[in-house]
Amino acid sequence: MKNFFYIVIVVLLISCNSVRVNYDYDKVTDFTNYSTYNYFSDIESGLSELDEKRLVKALDSSLQVKGFLLAEEPDFFINILSSEYRTAPSNNVGIGIGGGGRNVGGGVSVGIPVGSSGWQREIRFDFVDSQKDALFWQAVSESGYRDNASPSVREERLNAIVTKVLAKFPPQ
């Protein structure tokens, strides 16, 4: 019984901090044509300058592990956009009153939000062909966000986002 309790707690903690990613890409694109990349010079990511540096560093190391090279005249450019938003509390307590008799019934129910809302961060990664100036691959990540997190936690979180985002790039 103790083990079951610990497993439930771990699953709840993991599910609260998960990174969700949605992918989209142009099906007619030949991804073997891409071997070099760079970032748009006028990137306005919406991240703090330090978080943007952390994210670019994570992207660089992950893309280089996949065999892509940073170049002055790349095959594709990367654009990064982010936004933060507050989520509504997802836990509710229901209180109800009901009654009935002789085939007549009635009731009243009220849902009361429990807990606080949390912050979420959405980061969109756009990969744009440098010759055609056309978007060919996109990933949108959503994850929990704490503004007061330490630098090491922020770096770890951004590394997890990049790992999950690039897991399906290039598409098979």
Structure-block tokens of residue 71: 């170049």
Domain boundaries, the chain: 20-86+112-168
Top-tier CATH class for 20-86+112-168: alpha beta
Q: What is the pLDDT of residue 42?
A: 86
Q: Which residues of the chain have pLDDT under 50?
A: 8-16
How does DSSP classify residue 147? T
Q: What is the pLDDT of residue 100?
A: 62
Tell me the DSSP string of 19-43.
Answer: -EEEEEE-TT--GGG--EEEE-TT-
Structure-block tokens of residue 1: 């019984």
Closest CA to 169 of 21, 6, 39, 8: 21
CA atoms within 13 A on the CB side of 86: 4
Q: What is the pLDDT of residue 92?
A: 62
pTM, two decimal places: 0.72
Please compute Rg for the chain using Cα positions. 22
Residue 171 · residue 160 · CB < 8 Å: no
Contacts 24+ apart (CB under 8 A), 109-113: 113/88, 113/89
pLDDT in tens, 80-113: 998 877 766 556 666 666 666 666 666 666 666 6
